[in-house]
């Protein structure tokens, strides 16, 4: 049966809590700061691997044989039980050793970051999710009776390759391939990486390669599910489908990113001073009126918000009001505590 949740001691449950915290922390930070989700994924995988490594050193148990793998990895034989569905997610953050995690991080960093620039963060995360989902499903369907846990973000990494191949195959990405590090076209990277997977699967099926603990089917499954669904997901992305790499770094992408930033601008209809029964008057009221009249562009909104911050105080604590930038968007907040006012 393997390890069950009821078998875990208090210290083990603390480790589970730490794993969840370090896995989610980079995403929370990236979302708040509107920074790269691809880089957040790299950091998340590294931190989880570090916790695995620290546990293995502390207790003298190799990473691939710890209870984490048995409890959180994909076990096809038990995946029919809905209570085990959490494994579909948790397995993608665990790795057998440092070579395993670093090989996936290499792809996620080198391929994932330029793909995120093409897709935008949310669409990129959707493609990443499809990659490890497709990999897990392919492994479960091809090994339905297996009790050995499968782990790793390889399906997700191949999913990124699949999505890039589906949408922008002519893009050139700096990648170590054929013993050379240079900018290769995405279609060539896919041809080599996916070709090796298919060749290795053939060798295993023909009995000429012995046994392997690498889930090649998961890699292929992640690639093809993301490949099939990437183009619908990419509709409305910062880069138009099949556009050249040059246009993606020029005015087309800049305009798309600007449009997305404008869509995230908060409403000016309500304001925190009126809500606190302390409506603005005098010069502050005039500035607020101008802000509402002219604040539909990023630059003018920022200018009027900066002006307004100099003529107002926090309606909660009467502290100083300041402006801050989140990406291209500007907003006001209380200098004493962001929990008092963040507007708009």
**Do 177 and 84 reside in the same domain of the chain?**
yes
Specify the number of domains making up the chain. 2
User: How many other CB atoms are there within 10 angstroms of residue 337's CB atom?
Assistant: 13
Point out the domain boundary residue: 199, 234, 257: 257
Domain stops at, among 239, 257, 275:
257
pLDDT-based confidence at residue 314 (cuts at 50, 70, 90) = very high
What does DSSP assign to residue 179?
A: T
Q: Which helix (H) or strand (E) holds 181?
A: strand 180-185
CA distance 247 to 158: 25
| 169 plus 275 within the same structural domain | no
φ, ψ of residue 236 in degrees (nearest 5): 85, 5
Q: Could you tell me if 184 and 160 lie in one domain?
A: yes
Do 87 and 14 sit in the same domain of this protein?
Answer: yes
Instruction: Assess whether 142 and 64 both reside in one domain.
Output: yes
* Ranges 47-56, 245-254, 279-288, 323-332: which has the least confidence: 245-254
Predicted TM-score (pTM) of the model is 0.76
What CATH number is attached to the domain comprising 128?
1.20.1540.10
**What is the structure's pLDDT at 208?**
39
- Within a 13 Å sphere around the CA of 213, how many CA atoms are in the beta-carbon half? 10
Q: Is the same domain home to 306 and 243? A: no
Report the C-alpha gap between 324 and 318 in whole angstroms: 18
Residues 6+ apart with CB under 8 A from 138: 155, 217, 218, 220, 221, 222, 225
Please check whether residues 211 and 329 belong to one and the same domain: no
pLDDT for res 251: 54
Q: Quick check: 74 and 149 in contact, CB under 8 A?
A: yes
Residues 80, 93, 26: CA angle, nearest 5 degrees: 130
Whether 73 and 124 share a structural domain: yes
**What are the distances in angstroms from CA 323 to CA 265, 274, 333?**
14, 19, 6
Q: Are 168 and 304 within one domain? A: no
Under DSSP, is residue 149 helix (H, G, I), strand (E, B) or coil? coil
In terms of phi and psi (left: phi > 0; alpha: psi -120 to 50; beta: otherwise), the region of 97 is beta
Output the pLDDT for position 259. 66
Mean pLDDT of 57-70: 86
Domain end call among 225, 241, 257:
257
- 66: pLDDT confidence band, cut at 50, 70 and 90? confident
Percent of all residues in the chain with a pLDDT value above 70, rounded to a whole number: 90
Nearest to 247 by CA among 117, 100, 76: 117
Three-point CA angle 237, 220, 76, nearest 5°: 110
Q: Are residues 280 and 295 in the same domain?
A: yes
Q: Work out the average pLDDT over 156-166.
A: 96
Distance CA 340, CA 336 (A): 8
Q: How confident is the model at residue 213 (pLDDT cuts 50, 70, 90)?
A: low
- The DSSP string of 208-240 is SS----S-HHHHHHHHHHHHHHHHHHHTT-SS-
Beta bridge partners of 177: 180
Tens of pLDDT, residues 227-269 = 999 999 999 888 888 776 655 555 555 666 666 666 677 888 8
Tokens of 243: 């556009």
Q: Are 302 and 247 within one domain?
A: no
Instruction: Choose the most confident range, by mean pLDDT, from 17-26, 76-85, 170-179.
Output: 17-26
Residue appearing with tokens 């770094």:
249
* Structural domain span for residue 273: 264-343
User: Which residue, among 85, 67, 89, has the nearest Cα to 1 in the 3D structure?
Assistant: 67
Residue 32 sits in the same domain as residue 147: yes
Distance from chain centroid for Cα 300: 32
DSSP 283-295: HHHHHHHHHHHHT
DSSP letter for 337, please: -
């Amino acid at each position: 049966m393997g390890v069950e949740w009821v078998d875990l001691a208090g210290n083990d449950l603390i480790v589970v809590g730490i794993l969840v915290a370090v896995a989610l922390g980079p995403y929370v930070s990236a979302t708040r700061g509107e920074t790269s989700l691809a880089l957040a994924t790299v950091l998340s995988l590294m931190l989880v691997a570090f916790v695995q490594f620290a546990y293995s050193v502390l207790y003298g148990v190799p990473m691939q044989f710890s209870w984490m793998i048995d409890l959180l990895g994909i076990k096809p034989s038990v995946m029919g039980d809905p209570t085990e569905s959490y494994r579909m997610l948790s397995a993608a953050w665990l790795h057998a050793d440092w070579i395993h995690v670093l090989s996936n991080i290499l792809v996620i960093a080198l391929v994932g970051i330029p793909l995120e620039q093409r897709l935008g963060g949310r669409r990129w995360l959707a493609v990443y999710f499809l990659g490890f989902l497709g990999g897990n499903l392919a492994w479960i369907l091809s090994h339905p009776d297996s009790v050995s846990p499968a782990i790793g973000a390889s399906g997700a990494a191949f999913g990124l390759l699949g999505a890039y191949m589906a949408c922008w195959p002519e893009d050139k990405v700096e990648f170590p391939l054929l013993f050379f590090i240079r900018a290769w076209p995405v279609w060539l990277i896919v041809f080599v990486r996916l070709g090796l997977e298919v060749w290795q699967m053939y060798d295993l099926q023909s009995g000429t390669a012995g046994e392997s603990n690498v889930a090649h089917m998961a890699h292929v499954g992640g690639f093809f599910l993301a490949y099939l669904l990437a183009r619908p997901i990419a509709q409305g992305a910062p880069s138009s489908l099949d556009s050249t790499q040059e246009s993606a770094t020029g005015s087309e992408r800049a305009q798309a990113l600007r449009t997305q930033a404008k869509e995230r601008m908060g409403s000016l209809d309500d304001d925190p001073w009126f809500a606190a029964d302390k409506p603005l008057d005098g010069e502050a009221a005039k500035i607020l009126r101008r802000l509402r009249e002219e604040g539909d562009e990023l630059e003018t909104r920022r200018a009027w918000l900066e002006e307004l911050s100099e003529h107002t105080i926090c309606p909660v604590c009467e502290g100083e009001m300041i402006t801050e930038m989140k990406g291209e968007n500007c907003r006001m907040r209380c200098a004493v505590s962001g929990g008092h006012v963040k507007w708009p």
